[in-house]
Amino acid sequence: MKEREITALETALGYCFQRRGVIEQALTHSSQAREQEAQQTGESKSAVNDNEQLEFLGDAILALVTSEELFHRFPQFREGELSKLRAHVVSERHLIRVAQRLELGHYLRLGRGEEKSGGRSKTALLVDALEAILAAIYLDGGMEPARDFIVREILSPELERMEREGGALPMTDFKSALQEALQGLGLPQPSYVLVQEAGPEHSKTFTVEVRLNPNGDGRVEFVGRAQGSTKKTAEQEAARQLLAYLASRPQSAGTRPARSSRSPDR
């Protein structure tokens, strides 16, 4: 790959590779690898790596990170609900949209036959390349940048889309669930505070805090903080954080020093 192509891809991915070989392998289809091997002569013949093994690893990383994120984001969901949601997020139907948005087809390294047959737009090839890229990020930088990429590019945008469009999330009205939970515990309702509004009019980001004041005396026990493309989305995510806190809160807990969940990307 040319240097400018790698730079453009890194910009799209939001990650800069230290080892260029690993990202080139992630984009190399088996047709290109076998073609390169066939062109070798003499004793210098050697195997050319393609992206199939990386795709295998990336698939496992995607499943792990998605499972962990959904586990923490939706503590009230049952196993079946979590499995259904995970199956959608990691499905080919969803991943192809991510691959197309990142324009991965432009960067694929294909053999002549696959090129002629329209390989750059084939769903299977694009999804495999996306999963191989996940593995490449993991191998180059570790789990954290891989997790960041999955949450930023694959998971969070889809969950927000499903919520906006009334999609099939098992339960998205965390504010109502929080209201019921607090009533059941005999606690007052929380306050929602818009603490920041940033970005241009057509693409604003809203930061909201939800504050639990169990005794009504001004002392805050817990603060959930979240960002979203709408105030409603941010409020729902902050409410989810408070629900998760309540689930871990001892039933006999009284007023305690304020705890805060400062995780706008979660």
Residue 254 has pLDDT above 60, yes or no: no
**What is the pLDDT confidence band of residue 99, given thresholds at 50, 70 and 90?**
very high
Same domain assignment for residues 75 and 152:
yes
Residue 141, Cβ neighbours under 10 Å: how many? 18
Res 169: pLDDT: 57
- For 47-81, b/e burial (b = at least 16 CB within 10 A) is ebbbbeebbebbbebbeebbbebbeebbeebeeee
Res 30: pLDDT: 84
Same domain assignment for residues 27 and 139:
yes
Res 165: pLDDT: 67
**What is the pLDDT confidence band of residue 266, given thresholds at 50, 70 and 90?**
very low
Q: Cα dist. 66→56, 60, 62, 162, 237 in Å?
A: 16, 10, 6, 16, 17
Per the domain annotation, does 169 fall within a domain? Answer: no
Q: Which of 131, 153, 209, 237 is catalytic?
A: 131
Q: Using CA atoms, how far apart are residues 213 and 36, in angstroms rounded to an integer?
A: 66
Residue 257 has pLDDT above 50, yes or no: no
Same domain assignment for residues 160 and 120:
yes
Q: Using CA atoms, how far apart are residues 255 and 266, in angstroms rounded to an integer?
A: 26
194, β-bridge pairs: 208
Per the domain annotation, does 128 fall within a domain? Answer: yes
Same domain assignment for residues 198 and 74:
no
Q: Could you give the 3-state DSSP secondary structure of residue 103?
A: coil
Same domain assignment for residues 125 and 226:
no
The mean pLDDT of 115-143, rounded to a whole number, is 94
For 5-35, the pLDDT digits (tens) are 889 999 999 999 999 999 999 999 988 877 7
Q: Which two tokens stand for residue 203?
A: 């693409």
Q: Which two tokens stand for residue 195?
A: 């603490």
Q: Which of 59, 128, 163, 209 is catalytic?
A: 59
Same domain assignment for residues 72 and 8:
yes
| Length in residues, the chain | 266
Where residue 16 sits, what CATH number does that domain have? Answer: 1.10.1520.10
Q: Using CA atoms, how far apart are residues 210 and 194, in angstroms rounded to an integer?
A: 9
Question: Domain limits at 239?
Answer: 174-262
59 is catalytic: yes
Q: Where are the alpha helices (DSSP H) in 17-51?
A: 20-26, 30-39
